[in-house]
């Protein structure tokens, strides 16, 4: 039997979300032969009856899940927080298995998600140019772009990596900030070539205003000069939630309705893909890498300002 990477899922107190994720994940044919390892964080306020009840319901759903090869539920007694949960959970899993596919409970996946992730993990395991496998392509979908491609920005909405890469995870935001402060070219790349202010998020981490694991992994990939593989179209969508720790907006690009090929993937940055990436991260582009028509919005904004 083919061995598939373990699927690591992080949950908290959203029963509807984990049901949606597990239902979509079970549609992947590789699901029945995959091990699920689910990390359930503890209550922030153990005296909050509603919070505790929601966490218990999430754990009941996970404990009763039977559509996969195995399901292991790791229930925390206290609240670790999202960043600590992900860093600890990915670290323990990847040390045991050598690789991991990582999901949070506010995602749904295409039925071809696991096929792509496992195939890519196999293909690029020994390629030191590749840092991770991504899944959520919200900026370069459609026929203008390859079926799979690489960009320097890692993905946190359904991703996978290997033990050797994860062991290089940099936990100290000040160390990263200092490295960027001394390298203007690297700082520009870190910010998606000027398309998004990731450095401000990193600075907030340094100042302990936020606690983001994703910006530290982003930096780890940058400082190691790694690229991330993305599918075309997307293999995950983000579910909007007012209860989200950081993101509470939808990212809903078209989901892949067929398998995504790896055959013609070139491990390099392609100019037209990078252009689409920059439009996407600056919120000036649509899911298909085309510039949004904002002229009407600008006219209305200027009208109401006057």
* Domains in the chain, CATH or no CATH each: 7-168+224-305 (3.90.550.10)
Pairing mode, strands 70-75 and 130-133:
unpaired
Q: What is residue 241's predicted lDDT score, i.e. its pLDDT?
A: 43
Q: What is residue 63's predicted lDDT score, i.e. its pLDDT?
A: 97
Q: Which of 297, 300, 265 is nearest to 284 (CA)?
A: 297
Q: What is residue 296's predicted lDDT score, i.e. its pLDDT?
A: 46
**pTM of model > 0.85:** yes
Distance, in Å, from the CA atom of 101 to the CA atom of 246, rounded to the nearest integer, reads 21
Q: Which of 192, 242, 234, 185 is nearest to 215 (CA)?
A: 192
pLDDT at 191 over 80: yes
Write the pLDDT tens digit of every residue in 10-45. 999 999 999 999 999 999 999 999 999 999 999 999
For 180, the 3-state DSSP assignment is: helix
Local confidence band at 250 (pLDDT 50, 70, 90 cut-offs): low
Encoded tokens for 53: 């009840």
More confident residue, 250 or 304: 250
pLDDT at 300 over 70: no
Beta strand spans in the chain (E): 7-11, 35-40, 70-75, 99-104, 107-109, 130-133, 148-151, 159-162, 227-231, 236-238
Other C-beta atoms within 10 Å of 269: how many? 15
Q: What is residue 264's predicted lDDT score, i.e. its pLDDT?
A: 84
Q: What is residue 239's predicted lDDT score, i.e. its pLDDT?
A: 83
Pairing mode, strands 99-104 and 7-11:
parallel
Write the pLDDT tens digit of every residue in 54-107. 999 999 999 999 999 999 999 999 999 999 999 999 999 999 999 999 999 999
Encoded tokens for 198: 């990731």
Share of the chain above pLDDT 90, in %: 88
Share of the chain above pLDDT 70, in %: 92
pLDDT at 130 over 90: yes
Distance, in Å, from the CA atom of 187 to the CA atom of 230, rounded to the nearest integer, reads 22
Local confidence band at 301 (pLDDT 50, 70, 90 cut-offs): very low
Beta strand spans in 53-208 (E): 70-75, 99-104, 107-109, 130-133, 148-151, 159-162
More confident residue, 182 or 145: 145
């Amino acid at each position: 039997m083919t061995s598939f990477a373990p699927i690591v899922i992080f949950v908290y107190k959203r029963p509807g979300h984990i049901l949606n994720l597990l239902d979509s994940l079970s549609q992947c044919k590789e699901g029945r032969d995959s091990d699920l390892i689910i990390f359930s964080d503890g209550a922030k306020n153990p005296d909050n009856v509603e919070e505790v009840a929601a966490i218990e319901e999430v754990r009941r759903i996970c404990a009763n899940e039977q559509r996969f090869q195995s399901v292991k539920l790791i229930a925390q007694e206290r609240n670790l927080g999202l960043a600590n949960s992900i860093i600890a959970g990915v670290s323990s899993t990847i040390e045991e298995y050598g690789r991991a596919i990582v999901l949070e409970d506010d995602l749904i996946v295409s039925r071809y998600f696991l096929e792509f992730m496992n195939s890519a993990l196999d293909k690029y395991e020994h390629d030191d140019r590749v840092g991770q496998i991504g899944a959520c392509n919200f900026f370069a979908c459609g026929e203008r772009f390859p079926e799979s491609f690489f960009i320097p920005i890692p993905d946190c909405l359904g991703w996978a990596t290997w033990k050797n890469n994860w062991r290089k995870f940099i936990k100290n935001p000040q160390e990263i900030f200092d490295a960027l402060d001394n390298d203007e070219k690297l700082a520009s790349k870190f910010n998606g070539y000027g398309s998004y202010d990731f450095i401000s998020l990193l600075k907030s981490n340094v100042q302990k205003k936020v606690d983001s694991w994703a910006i530290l992994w982003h930096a780890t990939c940058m400082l190691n000069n790694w690229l991330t593989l993305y599918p075309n179209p997307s293999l995950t969508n983000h579910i909007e939630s007012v209860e989200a720790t950081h993101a509470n907006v939808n990212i809903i690009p078209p989901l892949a309705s067929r398998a995504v090929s790896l055959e013609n993937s070139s491990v390099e940055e392609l100019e037209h893909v990078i252009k689409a990436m920059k439009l996407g991260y600056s919120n000036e582009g649509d899911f298909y890498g085309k510039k949004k028509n904002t002229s009407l919005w600008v006219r209305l904004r200027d009208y109401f300002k006057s």
